[in-house]
Structure 1
């Protein structure tokens, strides 16, 4: 049994399916197909691949005429998150400070100039959804998202949890708040170690704050996989700040779509980890 938990830009599954249950089924089918022969399609979902879906719980919508990737839509903490991201990517002080009222746009354009328009879009979208999740340690949305994953984990009792992007943040927190037994946690394109924006805002539950970076209780093996060009998987050397990781792989997904879940799921390193459990 495998459970997958998605990252950003997954509200579209709900739009197409009509409800969260249908969205979870569609996501599971897509991830199963990406894993390859033996994992693809409904048959494998029925036999062991399920998705935890939470995008609807973080969806904010946009004002008329606006787009999700507009950095001006970010709130104060989201803008600080964008600045933390740019700092980690090497942005100079003059970009981060800027003129009054302009820094957020300057930061986004710097990312586009140095890392490409797609990277700018991905980072801004990530900051929007991640800030919605992380904004309040006790916020209702945050609690509901963790509960959504907990329900699937407790119902399915998987051996493996595949956690992509923001889903790795959700998974890490959930596994501390509501521990379950797992053979393997596989994080893909994870931003867990980003200082300020992510790492310093994690909630592990009362009495666990000093354990940030350790393997969650109940998890026997933690594998992290990141693409060398993934602007979300910052810092690249996640085990340096999360020593609880047992195995770390740096991979190359190609020059485009370096943060795409299905590209990560198709790498040989994921197949090898799943083969260990057969």
Structure 2
């Protein structure tokens, strides 16, 4: 079995389906199709956690100035890591966050601005406080699913790769393969320094989680979330890394990552025959 751990913008599955269980089933079905596998719920299961990070929406929620202070700082640090000049990321008040969002739109397109706001809000909700009940609840939910399903493989996308990495250190589970897709694990100041591996594990940051036999990372060359794209430079525990090209519009889309031949080759030996 494969357990999928999703990234941001997945609350919509719950909004459509009505229950957490049905939301997870819908997400698993979408991932199964993207992987090109037969529609069998015993093949792919989703560790769905989006409801645990959902804060509700307010008018103007898509505006960078409406982000909480921590998420604004996260956006500025992220843009700095992407190579924005200092004049974009410095200034009084909310000027840097407005300039950072504008710089993203100019470099990656207008849709990137809205995506960045959503990304920063959800990532900040998870990672701003290493002791927050929400963060612990997300890890516990992932651990519950892994303990119940006992998969051979975990495939984790975007923020899900951060959740998976932390969960597998806090509660080690035997896996043949961990795959991270479009991962921000190594993003300086935004994620890397804030990772929580649990008591006694902090010195192991960057290593493969215990009980995981193999770790594969895949990053699109234009994915603005996968920073740095050369994740093994910060995570020597990665056994194989693939640079791929999904195209600018789909450079972070989970289903495009899931359809890659590189991923199919890694999963092939671990899937049931026939």
Q: TM-score range by the shorter chain?
A: over 0.9
1:15-72 deviation per Cα after TM superposition (whole angstroms, max 9, x unaligned): 0010111100000000000000xx242xx21x22100001111011122x323x3212
RMSD of equivalent CA atoms: 1.0
- Cα distance, 1:101 vs. partner? 2.9
How many equivalent pairs are there? 271
- Aligned equivalent of 1:117: 110
Alignment of 1:116-265 (within 5 A): 116-265=109-258
Alignment of 1:11-160 (within 5 A): 11-36=11-36, 39-41=37-39, 44-45=40-41, 47-63=42-58, 65-67=59-61, 69-160=62-153
Mind listing any 5+ residue stretches in structure 2 that lack a counterpart? none
Measured in 2, the distance between the counterparts of 1:221 and 1:126 equals: 28
Whether contact under 8 Å (1:123, 1:231) holds in the other structure is no
Measured in 1, the distance between the counterparts of 2:67 and 2:228 equals: 22
For the residue of structure 2 that corresponds to 1:219, the secondary structure is coil
Measured in 1, the distance between the counterparts of 2:190 and 2:11 equals: 23
- Cα distance, 1:73 vs. partner? 2.4
Give the 3 Å change call, closer, same or farther, for CA 94–145 of structure 1 in structure 2. Answer: same
Could you state the TM-score of these two structures normalised by the residue count of structure 1?
0.95
Measured in 1, the distance between the counterparts of 2:112 and 2:227 equals: 13
User: 1:270 aligned to 258, 263, 270, which one?
Assistant: 263
Whether contact under 8 Å (1:165, 1:191) holds in the other structure is yes
Measured in 1, the distance between the counterparts of 2:106 and 2:156 equals: 30
Measured in 2, the distance between the counterparts of 1:101 and 1:232 equals: 22
Could you state the TM-score of these two structures normalised by the residue count of structure 2?
0.96
Measured in 2, the distance between the counterparts of 1:122 and 1:250 equals: 22
Greater Cα shift, 153-162 or 112-121: 112-121
Measured in 2, the distance between the counterparts of 1:120 and 1:40 equals: 36
- Cα distance, 1:74 vs. partner? 1.7
